[in-house]
Amino acid sequence: MIADAAPPARVPRFVPFFNPLAMRLLRRGRVMGPNTLLTVRGRKSGEMRTTPVALVELDGRRWIIGTFGETNWVRNLRAAQAGVIEVGDRRESVNARELGGAEGAAFFATTLKPYVAGIPLGFGRVLLAMLGAGDIVKDPAAAAARRPVFELTPV
């Protein structure tokens, strides 16, 4: 391993406890910031799997970020290349295209960094720090190397 390589993204301890609550709230239509439920077919089981994810929407385009790196939902979405996003009764089938190396780095630098900076009172940076994702604004290229990004388009 290269000595200066960024360590893999890790899931903070509170996330497994928070996700069931977030899923219940989002299924009832409670808006939780930019969060949505993502349902995607499991790559091994073939069963539909649902998890809360953050959805970035700007200028009519939408992306989801594998904030914690190579999680199961990331692997499943990569394999399926499609899923369903939902909040409450609003459901939409989407295709998902993973952004590659330079394209991912450009997304973090030119799209996500200004998006986070635009969140009032610095809450964007606080949230990223809580999630162990401060590198998204400090070093977009390193963030892209360990945090997959998928652009979503309607089916």
What CATH number does residue 26 fall under? 2.30.110.10
Non-local (6+) Cβ contacts of 64 within 8 A are: 36, 38, 53, 54, 55, 56, 77, 96, 149, 150, 152
pLDDT tens, the chain, 155 aa long: 333 444 555 665 656 667 777 777 777 776 666 788 999 999 999 999 998 898 888 889 999 988 888 889 999 999 999 999 997 788 999 999 999 889 998 988 888 777 776 665 555 555 555 555 566 767 788 888 888 999 999 99
**Is residue 34, in this structure, part of any structural domain at all?**
yes
Helices of type H across the chain: 15-27, 72-80, 101-106, 113-117, 123-130, 135-138, 140-146
Non-local (6+) Cβ contacts of 137 within 8 A are: 112, 113, 116, 117, 125, 128
Q: Considering the entire predicted model, what is its pTM? A: 0.77
Supply the pLDDT for residue 30: 64
Supply the pLDDT for residue 151: 97
- Among the listed residues 141, 49, 78, the one whose alpha carbon sits nearest the alpha carbon of residue 104: 141
**Is residue 7, in this structure, part of any structural domain at all?**
no
Q: How many domains does the chain have?
A: 1
**Is residue 106, in this structure, part of any structural domain at all?**
yes
**Is residue 2, in this structure, part of any structural domain at all?**
no
**Is residue 8, in this structure, part of any structural domain at all?**
no
Range of the domain at 77: 15-154
Supply the pLDDT for residue 3: 37
